[in-house]
Amino acid sequence: MDRARDGTSSSFVNLSVIDIRSTPKEFILRCDELIDLVVSHGAGPEDLRFTIVTDEVTWGQKKFHNISLTLHYHEVELGECVYIYDYPLDGHERISIIDLGFSTERLQWGIRPNRNYFPDFDLIYESLSNVDSSSVTAIIDAVRSMVLIAGEGIVPSNNNHGYRLRQFSKRYIARTLGVHINDKELVRIAYEAWQRTGHQFSASLEETEAIITRENQRNFNAAFLAKVTSSGLGKIYVDINQSTDSFLKQVRFSIPEEKIKNILNQMI
């Protein structure tokens, strides 16, 4: 999640084709299909690059060998086709497997260099045209992943999936400090974009938005207290687990209004 940028995201749609008990000839045919797919979407054949690697892999107690062909368009990796030719089953039997896969987001973005990495958010990129594109993508990525988690009704916590949601929220707050952005609009766009892929959420848009808003406000409050300390105003103790409006009302008992406004101007 810390490497999110144009071309790399923490959540994405991955297309995968698996062939069991396949032959080397079928592996070559799958590689051809991947190349044909990329070319049919507008990639110039003269700009394709290939990396072929043979490797020994360990998955748990199982060891096997594979050969992988990775397809690049200019400098962007678009997908790969892997041939595992001695995957061990229970007992002494071994089988061959072909695994072809690619991220649909990366494929579309990599072939069309003038396209935003998340085209569903084109209006957000336009509204933040003064911000580096990869930085905007990192903001959007945090929201997309939060929506996937909160959309299943999962609430932030310090364990398991709830902890992942909390981590994404902290990064979202850190990445949007000083950036004017509409949180609710981002959540709505992400929710509807995932639905268009066929994903069916357990929680409604309103429920998802409420979960994310509460956690974002919690982490904004924590970031505000950190700013107070770094500004030389000392440490104050206010519960961050409340709405930002309620939080700031309590802060006003400890810090002059002018100081609060100065810190908020740095953060919003």
User: pLDDT category, 92, cuts 50, 70, 90?
Assistant: confident
> Among residues of the chain, what percentage have pLDDT more than 90?
90
Same-domain pairing of 98 and 127: no
DSSP H or E segment with residue 145 = helix 133-150
Same-domain pairing of 107 and 197: no
Assess if residue 166 is contained within a domain.
yes
| Rounded Cα–Cα distance for residues 130 and 174 (Å) | 18
| Rounded Cα–Cα distance for residues 268 and 257 (Å) | 16
Task: Report pLDDT digits (tens) over 148-161.
Answer: 999 999 999 999 99
Same-domain pairing of 182 and 134: yes
Q: Output the pLDDT for position 114.
A: 85
Whether the predicted pLDDT of 91 surpasses 90? no
Same-domain pairing of 247 and 132: yes
For 150-188, give one letter per residue: b (16+ CB within 10 A) or e.
bbeebebeeeeebebbbbbbbbbbebbeeeebebeebbe
Same-domain pairing of 25 and 47: yes
Q: Output the pLDDT for position 268.
A: 83
Structural domains counted in the chain: 2
Q: Output the pLDDT for position 266.
A: 87
Same-domain pairing of 166 and 104: no
User: pLDDT category, 39, cuts 50, 70, 90?
Assistant: very high
Q: How many CB atoms lie within 10 A of CB 118?
A: 23
Assess if residue 51 is contained within a domain.
yes
Residue span of the structural domain in which 57 resides: 14-111
Q: Output the pLDDT for position 195.
A: 97
Same-domain pairing of 127 and 204: yes
Choose the final residue of a domain: 53, 84, 111: 111
Give 252-257 contacts, CB < 8 A, sequence gap 24+. 255/228
Choose the final residue of a domain: 111, 145, 177: 111
